[in-house]
Amino acid sequence: MTIQLYNTATRRKEAFEPIDEGNVRMYVCGPTVYDRAHLGNARPVLVFDVLFRLLRHVYGENAVTYVRNFTDVDDKINATALARKEAGAAGTLEELVAERSDETIGWYHADMDALGALRPTHEPRATRFIAQMVAMIEDLIAKGFAYENDGHVLFRVREYAEYGKLSGRSVDDMIAGARVEVAPYKEDPMDFVLWKPSDDALPGWDSPWGRGRPGWHIECSAMAYELLGDTFDIHGGGNDLQFPHHENEIAQSKCAGHGFANVWLHNEMLQVEGKKMSKSLGNFFTVRDLLGQGVPGEVIRFVMLSTHYRKPMDWTEKKRAEAEVTLRKWAVVLNEQFVAHRGYVGRTPVKPPEEIIAALANDLNTSLAITLARQYARDWQPEKLAASLVMLGFEPSHLVGRYCSATAIASEANVPAFPNQISSQVEAFGANSSYAGILQELSIRFTRMRTKALESKDFESVDAMKTALIDAGVEVRMGKGGVTLVPGLDFDPSKLEALI
């Protein structure tokens, strides 16, 4: 299987050719850990989670190294810790910074786990690679690409001739169109910080230029080099990082003599109800906000993957509701397979459908993969559906457990109609709510038997099932919409076991 990926650096879709098929290497810029991850932060996590899964499928689970960093040294983290200290929190500022970083990383893991994202191979913290950053900065100074002034070390942008190639802008255009910090310690307004001084109150590390802390851009270059080597396969992130972050990463890494990344992937941004997400518009929310409101992680994942990663993604209430309906329908299909094989959907299927892999291999076309999954569900192909969902990062048994358990059915009081296949529900649970799951399973099976009987004109099995249900005290209501099973006054749940 040849994977085709759109390379931002070349502006075309290319066949992916790893440097080493036994060690495919990918770096994705991770979060600055000062607060909860907002919904937009989740998009690159899910995009590159699918790519990680695809690479593991094609090259082997142990043949892919995925690095996603945590930026745990940053002015925003310092400001958050300082606010805590001023509010009376015990400990030094450095201790409060470390405490906030640990807390936020824990939140991030919990939220991304809830979305079904795999943990990367490595999740380096910037503060643990300060020595490597200092060494890279020293090398850049020695080669004339960087200079020290008043405790700051800056990169000479104009010394790197290809600066701006990734984003497609010239240096002069970037100065005219961007907010560039003009400071007395800069030789040129475009020069960016590699190292900056820290006073005694702020977190800092000793260096040849005095006590200080690294700039944002050098962090990723140093960690990528340390964990992935001189040249690696893929570098990813949101397209808001193309400039200045990724441009600066490329410039400093190339000037340090590293090959850096061969392929650059960027996902488009997220909107909410057609508008940019912002606190001023009142449409800003975190992943935890949605999870806390009862929106399942699978629903968030479904909405995100329904749009191609290179197109803007619009989160709407309508899409959220439609996603939940679709996932519930899929759970109904998967549930029959679960019942028939006693836990089949809890095991990873051996081989996903070829057309699913082909869709993902075509520049991560997750929207097409979801369309194919819908077709498998319409055709009542639970094995194909389960295998496809696992490849897309959904756990079938979780869907069955969420939407088809007795508790879930009792709370919903119905199962939404499944087009051309099933419209069944379980009513009047009362004291028998613990048997709702069994009744739902039987209603699904009975509906399928009846559909086949209407085509074959052989109703023997349907009549036998109906007789057994009536004997168990279940009222069988049949109509154009499907089958409804209602526990009667003489309902005997023990007689249902023989029908499963």
Q: Residue 27 has which token pair? A: 């770096």
- pLDDT the model gives residue 337: 61
| pLDDT of the residue at 487 | 73
Residue 431 has pLDDT above 50, yes or no: no
Whether the pLDDT of residue 346 is over 60: the answer is no
Residue 488, pLDDT above cutoff 80 = no
Give the confidence band of 437 by pLDDT, cuts at 50, 70, 90: low
Q: Which of the two residues, 454 and 143, has the higher pLDDT score? A: 143
pLDDT tens digits, one per residue of 391-416: 999 999 889 888 875 444 434 433 33
Cα separation of 272 and 314, whole Å? 5
- Residues 304-329, mean pLDDT to the nearest whole number: 95
Q: Are strands 212-214 and 260-267 parallel, antiparallel or unpaired?
A: unpaired
CA 442, 443, 444, 446 torsion-angle sign: positive
Write the pLDDT tens digit of every residue in 350-368: 589 999 999 999 999 999 9
Nearest to 203 by CA among 79, 30, 103, 36: 79
Please tell me the predicted confidence (pLDDT) of residue 289: 94
38: which DSSP letter?
A: B
DSSP string, 60-115: -GGGEEEEE-BB---HHHHHHHHHHHHTT--S-HHHHHHHHHHHHHHHHHHHHHHT
Q: Which of 5-14, 204-213, 477-486, 488-497 has the lowest mean pLDDT?
A: 477-486
Among 81-90, 330-339, 358-367, 438-447, the range of highest mean pLDDT: 358-367
Rounded to whole angstroms, how far apart are CA atoms 351 and 27? Answer: 27
Query: Angle CA(165)–CA(170)–CA(171) in degrees, nearest 5?
Result: 110
Q: How far is CA 111 from CA 12, 170, 173, 304, in A?
A: 34, 39, 39, 15
pTM, to two decimals: 0.80
With 0-12 / 13-18 / 19 or more C-beta atoms within 10 angstroms meaning exposed / middle / buried, residue 284 is middle
Q: Look at residue 371 and tell me whether its pLDDT is greater than 70.
A: yes
pLDDT, position 481: 57
What proportion of the chain, given as a percentage, has pLDDT over 70? Answer: 87
User: Which of 97-101, 113-117, 434-438 shows the lowest per-residue confidence on average (mean pLDDT)?
Assistant: 434-438
Could you tell me which residue, 399 or 446, shows the higher pLDDT?
A: 399
- Which residues is 10 bridged to in the sheet? none
Question: Nearest-CA neighbor of 434 among 498, 475, 499, 491?
Answer: 491
Average of per-residue pLDDT across 98-111: 94
More confident residue, 413 or 446: 446
Instruction: Locate 357 and state its tokens.
Output: 């892999």
**32: Cβ contacts below 8 Å, ≥ 6 apart:** 71, 74, 76, 77
Confidence of residue 474 (pLDDT cuts 50, 70, 90): confident
State mean pLDDT over 214-241: 97
pLDDT at position 283 is 84
Q: Are strands 231-238 and 64-68 parallel, antiparallel or unpaired?
A: unpaired
Which secondary-structure segment (H or E) carries 63? none
pLDDT of residue 108: 96
pLDDT tens digits, 149-202: 999 999 999 999 999 999 988 777 666 555 566 788 999 999 999 999 998 878
The pLDDT value recorded for residue 350 is: 59
Per the prediction, the chain carries an average pLDDT of: 86
Q: Which residue has the tokens 């080099």?
A: 225
pLDDT in tens, 333-345: 888 665 444 444 4
Helix (H) or strand (E) holding 64: strand 64-68
pLDDT of residue 477: 76
